[in-house]
Amino acid sequence: MKQIINRIMPIVWRIMPIVLAVLTSIAITMVIQNLELSTSAMVTIQFGILVFLIMVIVVAEFNRQRINHESYTSTTLPQDLSTRIRILTMALEESGKVINAIETEIESRKELVTKLETQKAVAERAITLSREQVDAVSALLSDQVSRQSKKDFRIELVKDIAIFVSGIVITLLINR
């Protein structure tokens, strides 16, 4: 029984941070749902948070393994003060990099929230439009879509003709 527990515990300790990351992501998603954002925005935010939490877990695991290695070497090898200072400097630099990564992620999330708030405001304004305003916006959009579709049709027609002509030229060159 003790052997089974000794085999299972390392697996549990490796899986537990991922489970905690997923649970944290779900909890944050529940908070985000109160903001009345669209489903795609919620999925994007949830995915970003999940990736961020997994990245933090991976970095923490990497640092834990590195620290375990360093502590092993530090207990087996005598160190002077300059070596200890160098190791502490390296640890501080690594933690600074992690903090910078976290700050970058927070800034990108702030930008996303700002963008989503803008979209929410536009959607709220669209809800308050009168029937005449909705018809005017619909007509404007359908006019723009029809112009774009005509332009796209012409571009595709030119491409198709070019491909057709190049096919004829290649066929004639091969048959000579």
**pLDDT value of position 42:** 66
User: Mean pLDDT of all residues in the chain?
Assistant: 76
- Residues 62 and 68: their CA atoms lie apart, in Å, by 10
* Residues above pLDDT 70, as percent of the chain: 64
Question: Which has the higher per-residue pLDDT, 156 or 74?
Answer: 156
132: tokens are 């005449």
For the chain, state the CA radius of gyration. Answer: 29
Q: 10 Å Cβ neighbour count for 45?
A: 20
Question: Which has the higher per-residue pLDDT, 28 or 110?
Answer: 110
pLDDT tens by residue, 127-149: 777 778 778 888 888 888 888 88
pLDDT tens by residue, 51-106: 777 777 777 777 666 666 555 555 554 568 888 888 888 888 888 888 888 888 88
**pLDDT value of position 71:** 55
- Residues 12 and 10: their CA atoms lie apart, in Å, by 5
